Structure 1
Amino acid sequence: MKPRGRVQMLRCALDGVEATVAHTTHAFARHSHDRFGIGIVVAGGQRSASGRGPVEARASDVITVNPGEVHDGSPLDERGRAWRMLYFEPSLVIGTVAECAGTPLREVELTRPVLNDTQLSLRFARLFSVAADEANEGVPPDNLACEEALIALFSYVSQYHATPLQRGPERMGPVARARSRIDDDPASASTLADLAAEAGMSRFRLLRSFAHEVGLPPHAYRMQRRVALARHLIASGSALADAAVSAGFSDQSHMTRAFVRLLGVTPASYAAAIR
């Protein structure tokens, strides 16, 4: 299975950051990322339902996503859309924003899913250039330039486009217990009855409550977590076939279909970009 158009993972000179470029008509199913995402639409436009409401983004708009925020994405017309995106480990973003703000933070939320902000676009473009473009042109990484561009981006984000959250520990409710069971072992073949028993409710009530609280039904959420596990295994050096089995897929083809549906790239393309 191949994505419709081109979605490409790029090498990135910064630890904890992944870079993607795309020009595609692919419609992405509802999913979430375990990282923060900041990018620019460079051509065409996209319509999506995000955790912060329905949005449309067009050329020159900056787009953002928070970790765990369920969203989808489809082109506005048959020409598709093109974007450049950086995905950041949450610890990197929280630590950098806290450094810029001069205060400890537990969590950070990017406030709006679509922005038209020239200064933000310029700072993003600078970071993408030194961390991704140059790395893929064979230029030796300039760590000082990358760090300066990272700080420049997130000092601006922290001032204008991020909300610090000081959340205390939360009691784990029934759906959270079922979700945690999937998170702890996404490769497991747990049934809906198993998850309902973990949550202490009927299958019907769990199915309805899980979709309401998480934004995805249990099966779709587990598939997403399996893709995340497979990505980690591939990044750690596992062969594609081994990663597929270890992540709970029936075979490598099954894993490839899930990758393309959720990420727009094949596992082979992902492996080639990060190794």
Structure 2
Amino acid sequence: MQRSAIAGVQAVAARSGRTFARHTHDQFGIGVLRQGAQASHSGRGPVQAGPGYVITVNPGEVHDGAPIGGGVRAWQMLYLDPEVVADAAADIWACWPGGGSRQFEFEHPAQDRPALARDLLALYAHATGGAPALACGELLLRVLAQAGGPRGAAPPLAPRHAVPGAIRHARGLIDDDPAAVLTLADLAGACGLSRFQVLRAFARATGLTPHAYQTQRRLQLARQLIRQGASLADAAAQGGFSDQSHMTRLFVRAYGVSPGRYALAAGRA
């Protein structure tokens, strides 16, 4: 079990050849089988999962698990408290008729969905790596929207006429202070939309998620500070990065040059 930065979410990584007897959890579980294969009997029928498969379990669902072929299998799982899932589901399906009152569930116990697996592994890395709340919140909503819902209901889009002005407010919050610690709830409050609607509408309007947009604005601020003569440590701190190495990694990824070399080229080092 690894430390998780997301309240109400536990992160577990395992590698085992053990056969698990039938049991239940009081949380939602969703993960990715990283190695090997597994057969299990779940409340949704017998299933088999191979490498890269997304595996899920609902609270109270009786299930077991055994490696196929007598080998070992490895997996990474996130266990989410029901309150966390209920809060996210009510937000995602806020505009769906009866969505807020319908019970969320994972429909498929095992499925081969590479895009969902990538988002889920990214969420796991964010949770265990202490990523910003904005990034964790985005991925959590995306994962749950893809993986389940109230009787398979599709998440509704925000009314298009409400989007441009609302997203300007959200973008303005980031532009006014790129280093500020913001959550999707902060942006949703400024927009008058749900968190999930903000996530989808922001990406549609700007081509970036709110966290990706904030990261770009922070990098632009850091470059400006470096050009003005700030030290790299000060540029990282004032730019909203957790530390100088964090800024450096993102700086190189975005611009192909380190902040130190950028400072030299700007005549500031």
Mapping for residues 259-274 of structure 1, pairs under 5 Å: none
Q: Is 2:28 the partner of 1:41?
A: no
> How far apart are 1:118 and its partner, in Å?
1.7
Considering Cα pairs closer than 8 Å and 6+ residues apart, tell me whether 1 or 2 has the greater RCO: 1
* Structure with the bigger percentage of strand: 1
Q: Which residue of 2 aligns with 1:149?
A: 139
Q: Which residue of 2 aligns with 1:270?
A: none
Q: Is 2:116 the partner of 1:120?
A: yes
Q: Secondary structure at the match of 1:77?
A: helix
Alignment coverage as a number of residue pairs: 148
Mapping for residues 1-275 of structure 1, pairs under 5 Å: 9-102=1-94, 103-132=99-128, 134-135=129-130, 141-157=131-147, 161-164=148-151
Q: Deviations over 1:97-154 (max 9, x none)?
A: 121111413421211101111221121111111112x14xxxxx42221112112212
Q: Give the fraction of aligned pairs with identical amino acids, expressed as a percent.
A: 41
**In structure 2, how many angstroms separate the alpha carbons of the residues matched to 1:98 and 1:66?**
17
Letter in 2 for 1:122: R
**In structure 2, how many angstroms separate the alpha carbons of the residues matched to 1:43 and 1:82?**
5
**In structure 2, how many angstroms separate the alpha carbons of the residues matched to 1:91 and 1:117?**
26
Q: Is the 8 A contact 1:110 1:163 kept in 2?
A: no
Letter in 2 for 1:117: R
- Give unmatched runs, 5+ long, in structure 2: 153-269
Q: Is the 8 A contact 1:111 1:163 kept in 2?
A: no
- Give unmatched runs, 5+ long, in structure 1: 1-8, 136-140, 166-275
> What TM-score do the two structures reach when normalised by structure 1?
0.51
Q: Is the 8 A contact 1:94 1:106 kept in 2?
A: no
Q: Deviations over 1:220-255 (max 9, x none)?
A: xxxxxxxxxxxxxxxxxxxxxxxxxxxxxxxxxxxx
| C-alpha RMSD of the superposition | 1.6
> How far apart are 1:156 and its partner, in Å?
2.3
> What TM-score do the two structures reach when normalised by structure 2?
0.52
Bigger Rg over Cα: 2
